[in-house]
Structure 1
Amino acid sequence: MKKILAALVAIAALTVAVPAVGADLGARPYYNKAPAYAAPIYNWTGFYIGGHLGGAFTGSHDFNGAVLSDSSARLLGGVQAGIDWQFAPNWVLGTEGQYSWLGKNNLTATFPGGYVYTNDQRGLGSITARLGYTWGPGLVYVKGGYAYSDNSERLTLAGAPIPFLLDGNHSNGWTVGGGVEYMFAPNWSVKGEYMYYDFGSTRFVSPAALAPFGSFHNDDHTLKAGVNYRFNFAGPVAARY
């Protein structure tokens, strides 16, 4: 019996001692788990405003053989504003208004009899729809719609201005083009684009002496580089991996 009691006492002592030893070893260390990597998703939905610089080029045309001077390259600079909606999820649909001021360069036609026609094209405007495909910060797009040409025209005879009438409204036309845009910061993007403007053909109705000379075509090619500031409708979005 004494041996049994001694064994029970030893077991009880050992049971009490084990937790104490565990307590002496200290608490189990805690390690902070590293946060998951968050890759940004670029958001193209929203309103934007910006500016651009570039050049405009007009083809060489004539009034049925009458001399129409070439319009050499002109500098341009202007502003744009638009709104985009990103959907499905890599497509971007939007609309944009744009106006470019043109460097002074008169287009001149000289007719037999002393008539001289001059057109100083002061600016180009457009309201277009835009469809693009995005891969994160990049966007490639096409656009097209209404175009406007701000023309300042005159006809002179022996140096004196005279009234005249043209049969077409070559201030209104259409435009088509495309470009690439890149978002280099959460609210900033840069772009480069080409646009073709067509304002139809024009002929003289009066004076009658100029009617037989036929018509000439009105079109422009432009190259532009620009920057936009974007007011996104939604806040920053992140994808976790």
Structure 2
Amino acid sequence: MDRKLNKWYAGPVAGAAFLLTSTAALSADLAVTPVIEYSPSWSGFYAGAFVGWGWSNDDADTTGTSGFQSLGSTIVPGSLSLDDNGFNGGITAGYNMQSGGWVYGLEGDISYLDYDEADSFTGVAVLGTRLNTRAEREMKFFGTFRGRLGYAPSDRFLLFATGGLAFGQVNYSASVTGVDAPTLVWSGSEDEFKFGWTLGGGGEYKATENISIKLDGLYYDLADSSVTASGNAAVRAVGALNGIDYQSETDNTGFLARIGVNYQF
């Protein structure tokens, strides 16, 4: 009878002893195995991509010759609205250096900017026709090259200010058309690569040792666009209109809000 009981208990007792021994060994291993942590540094090269939204609140101002200016705002408007907003997305790259909590470096980006806005005005009749005045601005390419100065209050967070060069391709056009005399047309356009400046700031968070998430905002101011809309042959044939051209200009300013992901090499 005792031998049967010994056989009955021998298996469970041996299993329990093995489990306790294994647990103790595992605990010992955990006690001596160090927890590996990294201390993120912002120094080095990085590259990434971003998306965002842009806003522009500019007007197309009539600066035309004295002939057009003298007609008055009921015939030719003093300004047309070119307020616009649209998608912005592109790629960025830069280099940081860190000294204590201070981080400084250079950053550049190139992006697509979806601006295409037009406005028009039809005034009261003059010389037998109403005049339709129109201005349009299109901007699809935008970039910056900036310095950055920031402070990292912790290993993972960076707050920064930034500023420098801004550039972009701007297509601006203006026209005046005789509504009741459609052969009378003044037209002109300018498609130029513009340079200006930008200022902004933002914050960045290190999600891993190499990957960070960035939020930033930029205000930019590119060179003005100015267009002379010259009269066609039908305009030149009218003595009272010969030599009278229409001129229009606009600021090229706006604000960009963006979110991006960077990889630090």
Q: How does 1:119-198 map to 2 (within 5 A)?
A: 119-134=137-152, 135-158=154-177, 162-164=187-189, 171-198=194-221
Q: What percent of counterpart residues are identical? A: 25
In the alignment, which residue of structure 1 is the partner of 2:252? 218
Contact preservation (8 Å) 2:118, 2:134: no
SS in 1 for 2:42: coil
Query: Which one-letter code corresponds to 1:42 in the other structure?
Result: P
The more displaced of 222-231 and 108-117 is: 108-117
The Cα offsets for residues 6-46 of structure 1, whole Å up to 9 and x where unpaired, read as xxxxxxxxxxxxxxxxxxxxxxxxx9984666653211111
* 1:63 is the counterpart of 2:61: yes
Q: Classify 1:223/1:165 alpha carbon distance in 2 versus 1 (closer, same or farther; 3 Å).
A: closer
Preserved CA contact (<8 Å) 1:140 1:179 = yes
Against the structure 1 CA distance between its residues 59 and 104, is the aligned structure 2 distance closer, same or farther, given a 3 Å change threshold?
closer
Task: Indicate if the aligned counterparts of 2:140 and 2:170 stay in contact, CA closer than 8 A.
Answer: yes
In the TM superposition, what whole-angstrom CA distance separates every residue of 1:137-160 from its partner, at most 9, and x where no partner exists? Answer: 110001100001221233344397
Counterpart of 2:105 (choices 94, 102, 120) is 94
Match status 1:83 vs 2:95: yes
Aligned match of 2:49: 51
For structure 2, list consecutive stretches of 5 or more residues without a partner in the other structure.
1-27, 63-76, 124-130, 231-243
Maintained 8 Å contact 1:47/1:82: yes
CA shift in 2, pair 1:202/1:154, >3 Å: closer
The Cα shift of 1:201 comes to 3.7
Instruction: Give the residue type in structure 2 aligned to 1:49.
Output: A
CA distance in 2 between counterparts of 1:170 and 1:155 reads 18
- Structure 2 CA distance for partners of 1:109 and 1:50, relative to 1, 3 Å: farther
Map 1:199-214 to 2 at 5 A. Answer: 199-204=222-227, 207=230, 209-211=245-247
Decide which structure has the larger Cα Rg and report it. Answer: 1
Conserved? CA contact 2:229–2:246, under 8 Å: yes
Distance 1:91 1:58, change over 3 A: same
Q: TM-score, normalised by structure 2?
A: 0.64
Distance 2:190 2:111 in 1: 27
Q: Write the letter of the residue equivalent to 1:52.
A: F
User: Is the Cα contact below 8 Å between 2:211 and 2:261 reproduced in 1?
Assistant: yes
Distance 1:37 1:47 in 2: 28
- What letter corresponds to residue 136 of structure 2 in structure 1? T
State the one-letter code of the partner of 1:45: S
Which residue matches 1:28? Answer: none
SS of the counterpart of 1:171?
Answer: strand
- Is residue 97–residue 127 contact of structure 1 (8 Å, CA) maintained in 2? yes
Distance of aligned partners of 1:84 and 1:161 in 2 relative to their CA distance in 1, 3 Å threshold: farther
Matched AA of 1:59: N
The CA deviation at 1:84 is 0.9
Task: List gaps (5 residues or longer) in structure 1.
Answer: 1-30, 232-241
Aligned to 2:116: 105
Q: Could you say which residue in structure 2 is the equivalent of 1:19? A: none
Mapped partners of 2:115, 2:190: distance in 1: 23
Contact 2:188 2:228 (C-alpha < 8 Å) held by counterparts? no
SS at match of 1:73: strand
Partner of 1:228: 262
